[in-house]
Amino acid sequence: MPSDSAKLDLPDSHLVRRILTSPPFHTVDGVINFRDFGIPSFPSGYVPRANEKSGEVPRIRRGVLFRSGEPARLTEKGKATLKELGITTIFDLRSEVEIRKYKSSTPDIEGVHFVHVPVSDSDEYDPMALAARVSRFAKDEKNAFSSLYTGILENGGPAYEAILKHVRDKPGEPILVHCTAGKDRTGIFAAIVQLLLGVPDAAIAYDYHLTTYGLAPVLPALVQRFQKESIYRDNWEGFRNMGSAKQETMLATLELIRSKYGSAEGYIKARTSLTDADIERVRQNLLLASNSSALSTPTSSSSSSASLTLSSESLSVSQDKDVIHRNPEVPTGLSSWFSYYVLGMFKWIWRALF
């Protein structure tokens, strides 16, 4: 049995189900945390900024970029859903070591091309290395994430380049990008793309935070699994911190990108071979040219710099693809929930369940 300190104060299951069956999430049987890049939502009080060149507020194309956790347990029903979504290519950001170690290769899907683009090929599963990492997250979560995401940014250039080149060259072909949980390696890529397209920081941070819900269904099983291992049981705070997806973590990461690279464009030019013309083509292929905006301005007249906490009127996306509205049923303070939910080390998510 899990210790008292490891018990979860789970949210209402009906609420989680409502969120996971509404945009930007898609239900794909056998895959966790599956959602569309092109359906933004952000807290009240934030006014999307117009593109400096076009003077328009960006509208991101829906059904072009998808993200998720690993699809190793994809069912036949899930495969059918991917076909319905038109996905033709799947980019896998996991390391070869990771895939072999946990026997988590993606099943064949007729008509779908698989591209392995590891962010890193290093073996991160040595027990002493894992213990040290967990300890760092217990002592200083902010700096531990800064170090982790700095490494992803530095090592992820070639992987992210391959995906961006696909978007540049094949704009009409939907793709799926995934790692193990769809949180860190995938989350950083999503943030770079969203930043490039002019999505406000608050919306990027909120989207990152949605992983809180995306992983909720598997968390009880993870408690049972990882409480059996002393390396995590003895440092549970660090373990759950490492698995969190707090808004402030992404806001700090966006500042990290700006401080080191100046902008998303600066990062792409520094870590890939893409040119200014390539970057502009990626933008054109992911944005809808229109004077109306999918990033609808909230009715609140307030506008301020990014806050670390959502307003009491959190946002959800309506079924209308061009409308974002407030949903007072979506609770706030989700980062505190997630510190108890996501138990880190998602390399073993499906291994924990089967």
CA angle 307, 308, 311 (to 5 degrees): 65
The answer to whether the CB of 105 falls within 8 A of the CB of 72 is: yes
Q: For the chain, what is the domain count?
A: 1
Residue 9 domain boundaries: 4-353
Strand duo 113-116 + 89-92: pairing: parallel
pLDDT of residue 325: 32
> Residue 105 sits in a domain of what CATH number?
3.90.190.10
pTM: predicted TM-score of the whole model, two decimal places: 0.79
Q: Which residue has the higher pLDDT, 327 or 167?
A: 167
How much is the mean pLDDT over the chain? 78
Which of 91, 10, 37, 327 is CA-nearest to residue 208?
Answer: 37
Q: Which residue has the higher pLDDT, 49 or 65?
A: 65
Query: What is the secondary structure of 10-52 as a DSSP string?
Result: PPPHHHHHHHHTSTTB---TT-SS-EETT-----TT--PPPPT
pLDDT (tens digit per residue) in 5-30: 555 556 678 878 888 998 999 999 99
- As a whole number of angstroms, the distance between CA 105 and CA 114 comes to 10
Which of 209, 229, 230 is CA-nearest to residue 342?
Answer: 209
pLDDT (tens digit per residue) in 267-287: 999 999 999 999 999 999 999
pLDDT of residue 124: 65
Position 338 pLDDT exceeds 60: no
pLDDT of residue 41: 62
Q: Hey, which residues does 68 pair with through a beta bridge?
A: 178
